Amino acid sequence: MTTQLFRTCPESGLQFHRPAEWLMRANAVVAVVILLIGGLTAVGVTLTRWPAIHLLPADQYYQLLTLHGINMLIFWIIFFEMAVLYFCSSTLLRCRLATPRLGWVAFGLMVAGAVMNNLVVLRGDSSVMMTSYVPMPANPLFYLGLILFAVGALIGCFIFLGTLVVAKEEKTYEGSIPLVTFGALTACIIAVFTIASGAIILIPTFLWSVGWIAHIDAAMYRLVWWAFGHSSQQINVAAHVAVWYAIAAIVFGAKPLSEKVSRTAFFLYIAFLQIASAHHLLVDPGLSSEWKIFNTSYAMYLAVLASMVHGLTVPGSIEVAQRAKGLTKGLYQWLRKAPWGNPTFSGMFISLIGFGFIGGISGVVMGTEQINLIIHNTIYVPGHFHATVVLGTTLAFMSLTYYLIPVLFRRQLAFPALAKWQPYLFGFGMGVFTLMLLAAGTLGVERRHWDMAFTDSALGFDYPASAYTLMGIAGISGMAAIVGGAVFILVTVVSVFFGKRVGSESSYGTVTSRLMRAQPDIVPSGGHAAAGRWGFAAPGTFLFALFFLAIFVIYYAVNWKYLASVWPLS
């Protein structure tokens, strides 16, 4: 048996297994390179949809939009998630990573697949969007690239699961796995389901593209493809919620209000999150309303319930931790005195707010069976998923990266002043951008559409002037978010490759320490609630949650009212 080398980070106390550390670094670095490609394509897409600029010709716009979608929604996120999975298993559980060599095979397959897919789209014969809806054909290598990437990611998931087994077998931790690892396990289970669905649809589609299968049914393709396409975004939800809990723990020493509630909420994700892929099929022919209602509502909104629970317990755990430190004045002293200059915290908190208020509410509204009639395939849809995947997931991952640069890469953060402002610029730009797209979508502006002015069309249509204004503001705020993204890449690349070293190489050893249980609470007399109000441990968070609910209810009702104004249909 080979000797396993570990090092312990002196500041964080985290213990890194050397092969796992290199795998995490490699996956995170490639993720950021892909984020750069995605960001460059975002410039072209944003400036083309900004009506006053309308930069690119149609063919290039559709080509860049295809690249942007696949790189951002699949490659960037899943490469980063591989690093998160290895971190949450090997590092958090203080154990060796299972089969690190296979980890490099997985990494190699993912890189090969991503490169193949990008090159084929760049050649110009596969501008089919991320969804590649049949029977619109793409080059066979387009599908093959995705399949290779998925196989690699699947191997990564099994390495994560194998590492959990190793940790349990070698007793590297006491008791149950930490909540954050439980969240990563949730993400991993959803990922396995996602990748299996992807294989079920992409392998036949590949065979169809090379002529071995005669026909792929369009409705069947959509049903199975979305079990892949939407679920891949559900991996993100589970992963970024786990990252929120991790950052709350790292920055504040926060402890979940109760393990039972937070873990049950993750379990609800495993059980119900995937079926909401039906969101995409609400106005498709061939499906019954009973099927649509049950699936689109995650079986009675049980996964929405889970997200609403996390939305309370993450900031609630921060509030309790802050109150325990004596920040008990008023309802919000704990929040005012939070470290707003630390990008790890500010990014995480903006991610939480953006995901909940913009992404969450818009997602539930447009996923309502009948309301989807006024929203399907309008630019409202990208408005929604930029709030979930960009404000939510991407910003959460950026925040975690700021923490990982000294801890994992052992480099000092370069340009700390820029890093401090980055989450605000990115978050504010993206927040305004998403709100503009939601509003423009409500006016019927379409997604994936080169020209809202229809200048080359024999039959035109005039959108109201307000739609043009909204798309113009979306262009400006989108560019602000892109600048924010560029600052992130600048800070991380300079830090990782040119930053000042922290610690020394010789600190690796074979001695490891076991992960102990968290200290039991030192509960103030009268329980946590004594530090809060109204018998609530986290009264500020509770009031904030009620505010969220009020906005949710009002916006939901407004959309039913809007629906009632369109032509009667039956």
- When the beta carbons of 62 and 402 are compared against other proteins, the nearer one is 62
CA dist., res. 295 & res. 272, Å (int): 9
Q: Is 456 in the site for other proteins (CB under 8 A)?
A: yes
Number of residues that bind other proteins (CB under 8 A): 119
Segment interacting with other proteins, rule: CB under 8 A, options 75-83, 101-109, 254-262, 490-498: 254-262
Q: Binding residue for other proteins (CB under 8 A) from 36, 55, 112, 293?
A: 293
Residue whose CB is less far from other proteins, 148 or 270: 270
What is the torsion angle, in degrees rounded to the nearest 10, for the CA atoms of residue 33, residue 39, residue 44 and residue 45?
Answer: 120
**Region from 42-50, 203-211, 342-350, 557-565 binding other proteins, contact rule CB under 8 A:** 557-565
Q: Does 271 bind other proteins (CB under 8 A)?
A: no
Going residue by residue from 76 to 105, which x/- string records binding to other proteins, judged by CB under 8 A?
Answer: ----------------x-------------
253 is a site residue for other proteins (CB under 8 A): yes
Establish if 568 lies at the interface with other proteins (CB under 8 A): yes
Q: Shortest approach of other proteins to residue 562 CB, angstroms?
A: 8
How many CA atoms lie within 13 Å of 129's alpha carbon, on the beta-carbon side? 10
Q: Kindly identify the residues of this chain, within the stretch 206-235, that bind other proteins according to CB under 8 A.
A: 217-219, 222
**Nearer of residues 300 and 416 to other proteins, judged by Cβ:** 300
Element (H, E) at 8: strand 6-8
Spacing of C-alpha 427 from chain mean position: 14
Selected binder of other proteins within 214, 458, 465, 511 (CB under 8 A): 458
- How far, in Å, are 266, 311, 351, 369 from residue 308 at the CA level? 11, 5, 14, 21
Rounded Cα distance between 218 and 409, Å, is 46
Tokens 């407004």 — which residue? Answer: 558
Q: Which of 403, 450, 468, 488 binds other proteins (CB under 8 A)?
A: 450
Question: Which of 122, 210, 289, 466 lies at the binding interface for other proteins (CB under 8 A)?
Answer: 289
Q: State yes or no: residue 516 binds other proteins (CB under 8 A).
A: yes
Interaction between residue 286 and other proteins (CB under 8 A): yes
Report the DSSP pairing between strands 15-17 and 6-8.
antiparallel
Q: Is 56 in the site for other proteins (CB under 8 A)?
A: no
CB of 190 to other proteins, least distance (A): 20
524 binds other proteins (CB under 8 A): no
How far from chain centre, in Å, is Cα 13? 27
Contact stretch for other proteins (CB under 8 A) within 193-201, 345-353, 370-378, 472-480: 370-378
Contacts of range 323-330, beta carbons closer than 8 Å, 24 or more positions apart: 323/528, 323/531, 323/532, 323/537, 323/538, 324/522, 324/524, 324/528, 324/531, 328/531, 328/532
**From 99, 370, 469, 512, residue interacting with other proteins (rule: CB under 8 A):** 370
Record the tokens describing residue 284, joined without a space. Answer: 């498709």
Tokens of 370: 């009948």
* Residue of 335, 364, 425, 430 that binds other proteins (CB under 8 A): 364
**Cβ closer to other proteins: 420 or 528?**
528
- Residues 384-413 contacting other proteins, CB under 8 A: none
Which contacts of 501-506 are long-range, i.e. CB under 8 A and separated by 24 or more positions?
A: 501/410, 501/411, 501/412, 502/406, 502/410, 502/411, 502/412, 503/7, 503/9, 503/10, 503/410
Interatomic CA distance for residues 255 and 537, integer angstroms: 13
Please pick, from the candidates 11, 123, 171, 258, the single residue that binds other proteins as defined by CB under 8 A.
258
Kindly state whether residue 451 participates in binding other proteins, applying the rule CB under 8 A. Answer: yes
Among 54, 446, 480, 502, binds other proteins (CB under 8 A): 446
Torsion of CA 401, 403, 409, 412, to 10 degrees: 110
**Of 2, 3, 101, 461, which one interacts with other proteins (CB under 8 A)?**
461
Separation CA 401–CA 83 (nearest Å): 11
Instruction: Kindly state whether residue 373 participates in binding other proteins, applying the rule CB under 8 A.
Output: yes
x/- track of binding to other proteins for residues 312-351 (CB under 8 A): xx--xx----------------------------------
Smallest Cα–Cα separation from 162: which of 105, 89, 82, 235?
A: 89
Interacting residue with other proteins among 444, 469, 472, 476 (CB under 8 A): 444
Question: What tokens does 144 get?
Answer: 């093959």
CB proximity list for 10: less than 8 A, separation 6 or greater = 503
Distance CA 386, CA 393 (A): 9
> Residue from 29, 125, 333, 369 that binds other proteins (CB under 8 A)?
369
The token duo for 231 is 């679920």
* Residue 517 interacts with other proteins (CB under 8 A): yes or no: yes
Shortest Cβ 281–other proteins spacing (Å) = 8
Cβ proximity to other proteins, 22 vs 556, nearer residue: 556
CA dist 85 and 239 (Å) reads 9
Nearest alpha carbon to residue 102 among 117, 82, 116: 82
Binding flag, residue 532, other proteins (CB under 8 A): yes
Q: How far is the CB of 483 from other proteins (least distance, A)?
A: 28
Which of 549, 551, 554, 558 binds other proteins (CB under 8 A)? It is 549
Q: How far apart are CA 376 and CA 213, in angstroms?
A: 31
Closer by beta carbon to other proteins, 150 or else 249: 249
Nearer to other proteins, 439 or 487 (CB): 439
Positions in 116-175 near other proteins (CB under 8 A): 129, 133-136, 173-175
| Subset of 179-208 contacting other proteins (CB under 8 A) | 179-181
